[in-house]
Chains A and B, each alone.
Chain A
Amino acid sequence: MNAIETKGLTKRYGTYSAVDNLNLNVAKGSICGFLGKNGAGKTTTIKMLTGLAKPTSGAISLSGVGRKYGSNNNSNIGFLPDVPNFYGYMTSREYLNFCGKLYAMEGKRLKARIEDLLKQVGLFNDNKNISTFSRGMKQRLGIAQALINEPDVIFLDEPISALDPIGRNEVMTLIRSLRGNITVFFSTHILTDVENTCDHVLILEKGKVLADDTIVNLKQRHAANAAILRLYTPDDGHRFSALARGQNDLTVEPQSPTEFILRADNLNVLGKRISSLLTEADISMEGFQAYTPSLDDIFIEMTGGVASE
């Protein structure tokens, strides 16, 4: 059974489709990275999944239970928005106590859960009001409140966007620790973290899904017909660029004066073509190997590499 399923999920504002016919299938216990440029529809999707926005059409199912907008049954989900804001006059313990009680948790069970979570997120010894917390501390408290009810699925909207590298690492370690127990669905722009953490990646562009696959599959698919060529000198690089410009079936992407990513329909043919081109021009190569793209490369390639407005 999938933890998150949507069928034809759509959100329109007038004639503009923020999310267009989204079909999601996220496996239970997996960590799913939700990627897309600004304005791609990520936050709107998360809002619909968490019941904060009413879908124009489509169906949502979380842990096999259909979700109806307006119902207050959020017992199986946790949510952390991009800029979490808590009641500043409370301490972290009081806030978690409030959240737990909203889920009808009481007594020793709730107290033990609060202490466990505060230890887990490193706020055990903080008894100050939340208004004095740093951004990182708020983010960690945000994760704790999302987990208070021991949910099946948690939705994290850009949980690391405004954190320093140390805070980012802490939060990502926390997210990784949830693997297998809880399904984590999180949106972010920091793709290296997705690469190091996620089992599954979903790329959204203008409200439509561009990719919905595991990172391994995505990389294999995008690496299939690409290779990386390294030359010894920039002069060799210039000459190679001039030669390659005349080849219609070869795409050359310079990475530096001596390094190029080459794409063609077939990797074997590509090797032979490059070999003959270099021999013809009397250029020695330092290295030639199959290219493994990073998630950044895949993302840029799929979304057209143009920053959103």
Chain B
Amino acid sequence: MNSYRVFFQKEWMEIIRTKKLYILMGVFAFFAMLSPVITRYMSEIIALATDDLMMITVPPTTWKDSWSQFYGNISQIGCICVIFMFMGCVSGEKQSGSAALTLTKNLTHTNFIVTKFIAAAVCFTFSIMLAGLICYAYTYYLFEYAGKISDLFMGIAAYSTFTFVLLSMTVLASTIARSTAVTALLSFCGFIILSLSNLVPGIGRLLPGMLLSKTAELSYGVQSPEIILAFIIAILIAMLCVFLSIYLLKRQEI
């Protein structure tokens, strides 16, 4: 356990000092503040943007639209940020040679991969939790209601679980690839496949894409019994990607 703790401390220091945490927190917090405001003043914004002759009727917006706006905004930009932040986590260390120095100390390939995944997941979870609370507070302030706090956490849990799958795929791509450019390409392909996975006929409702498409609904309390299965399958896919990364790293010459 000592090497997990020491390597996690190193990873966390890297996340702080390379400002990954602040960037991720900043991006999510920006959309958390912006989304309720845009939703609340949507009709005014549209009225200002159109002339008097053009009549557009905008239905009154509610706190539910605020959550839809928030998750709509972060579902792509947030995921792209995650890929950019962590695409070099393994390939960068292999390329620079720092992995060779670390892995010739008392640190196994398993420690190396698992800790990198956990540190990135903690960084992401911290950022999205903060953003969720900001969005909740702003929505409450502007609409006088923001839903149940337990539903807020369900929405965040769904988005986080989807992103954990994406993170594990990014770690896997970073292990396979020798360069960060190839990692980015593989990760983006993975992101597109994951995002569209809910469209697969028959089993789509059980795949991680469903979690991303249901984040807003979960935030305002709409749940389906199959969502638990989608959570379980997403966690299994993330674990599989992490195990595959370990397996492949062990077979590579560093």
A interface: dominant SS:
loop
In the assembled complex, A87 has its CB within 8 A of some CB on chain B: yes
- Interface presence of B148 (CB below 8 A): no
- Please tell me if the beta carbons of A77 and B104 are within 8 angstroms of each other in the complex: yes
Are B97 and A79 in touch, CB under 8 angstroms? no
A90 vs B101: C-alpha distance when bound (angstroms): 15
Instruction: Decide yes or no whether A269 CB sits under 8 A from chain B.
Output: no
A124 proximity list for chain B (CB < 8 A)? none
A85 partner, pick from B10, B17, B96, B251, beta carbons under 8 A? B96
Residues B105 and A85 in contact, CB atoms below 8 Å apart: no
Contact of A102 among B7, B96, B98 (CB under 8 A): B7
Q: What is the predominant secondary structure among interface residues of chain B facing chain A?
A: helix
Query: A26-34, A48-56, A160-168, A178-186: which one contacts chain B?
Result: A48-56
Is the CB–CB distance between B14 and A104 below 8 Å?
no
Q: How far is the CB of A9 from chain B (nearest CB, A)?
A: 15
Please tell me if B77 contacts chain A, counting CB pairs below 8 Å.
Answer: no
Contact B6 A98 (CB under 8 A): yes
Q: How many residues of B contact A (CB 8 A)?
A: 28
Q: Which of B106-114, B150-158, B172-180, B192-200 contacts A (4 or more CB under 8 A)?
A: B106-114
Nearest-Cβ distance from residue B179 to partner chain A, whole angstroms: 15
- Contact residues in B for A81 (Cβ distance below 8 Å): 97, 100-101
On chain B, the residues within 8 Å of A102 by CB distance are 3, 6-7, 102, 105-107
Chain A residues positioned under 8 Å from B103 (CB to CB): 51-52
B18 to A, closest residue via Cβ: A89
Q: Which residues of A contact B6 (CB under 8 A)?
A: 98, 101-102
Over the window 17-36 of chain A, the binary record of Cβ atoms lying under 8 Å from chain B Cβ atoms (1 yes, 0 no) is 00000000000000000000
What residues on A are CB-neighbors of B9 within 8 Å? 98, 101
Contact across chains for B101 and A145 when beta carbons are under 8 A apart: yes
A87 touches B106 (CB 8 A): no
Q: Which residues of B contact A47 (CB under 8 A)?
A: 253-254
4 residue pairs, one from A and one from B, having the closest CB atoms = A89-B17, A85-B96, A85-B97, A72-B108
Query: Contact residues of A with B, CB < 8 Å?
Result: 47, 50-54, 70, 72-75, 77, 79, 81, 83-87, 89-90, 94, 98-99, 101-104, 142, 145, 149
B residues with CB within 8 A of A = 2-3, 6-7, 9-10, 13-14, 17-18, 96-98, 100-109, 111, 250-251, 253-254
